[in-house]
């Protein structure tokens, strides 16, 4: 459980660094302060939801809603790369006009390994393949001049 919390913290920091890149530069201490202030501003019932954090960060950064694409991976009963491809393409279409879009892929671990299941070698490989696929798909389908950030939350 500690590992999941740590990866969620890194994902939140990646979101902050992408949204506030022009203001914070490479200052991770400042990024951590922004992240903690956003987390403190969320009500207790929304504190664990990635969507609530993303919405609060977007409002604080005053970015255009079309700059951020949220891609939930765990909506289907079983995970498939075809469904992931469709979701990535939809998110890229909505953010394509932005010079520095942010795509946030949420629920990928839960989609591949539902709660109560064990991480097998096959599931770990499927998870790594899904991450590699998402990265290469976004890289090949985005404009060369855009500064696309893909965060796996």
- Percentage of the chain lying above the pLDDT 70 cut: 91
User: Could you tell me which residues come within 8 angstroms of residue 4 by beta carbon, excluding any fewer than 6 positions away?
Assistant: 109
d(CA 128, CA 66): 28
Predicted local distance difference test score (pLDDT) of residue 127 = 92
Predicted local distance difference test score (pLDDT) of residue 3 = 60
pTM score above 0.85: no
For the chain, domain boundaries: 1-61, 64-153
Q: What is the pLDDT of residues 55-69, one digit of tens each?
A: 888 888 776 666 677
Residue 25 to residues 13, 59, 72: CA-CA distances in angstroms?
13, 19, 28
Record the tokens describing residue 82, joined without a space: 């075809």
Asked if residue 1 has pLDDT above 80, the reply is no
Q: How many CA atoms lie within 13 A of 4 on its CB side?
A: 9
């Amino acid at each position: 459980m500690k590992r999941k919390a740590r990866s969620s913290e890194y994902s939140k920091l990646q979101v902050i660094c992408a949204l506030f890149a022009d203001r914070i530069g490479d200052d991770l201490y400042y990024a951590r302060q922004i992240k903690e202030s956003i987390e403190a501003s969320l009500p207790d019932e929304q504190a664990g939801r990635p969507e609530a954090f993303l919405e609060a960060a977007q409002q604080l950064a005053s970015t255009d809603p079309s700059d951020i694409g949220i891609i939930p991976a765990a909506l289907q009963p079983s995970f498939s790369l075809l469904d992931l491809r469709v979701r990535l393409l939809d998110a890229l279409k909505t953010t394509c006009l932005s010079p520095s879009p942010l795509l946030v892929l949420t629920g990928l671990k839960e989609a591949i390994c539902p709660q109560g299941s064990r991480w097998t070698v096959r599931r770990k490989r499927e998870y790594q393949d899904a991450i590699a696929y998402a990265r290469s798909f976004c890289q090949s389908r985005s404009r060369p001049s855009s500064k696309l950030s893909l965060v796996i939350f």
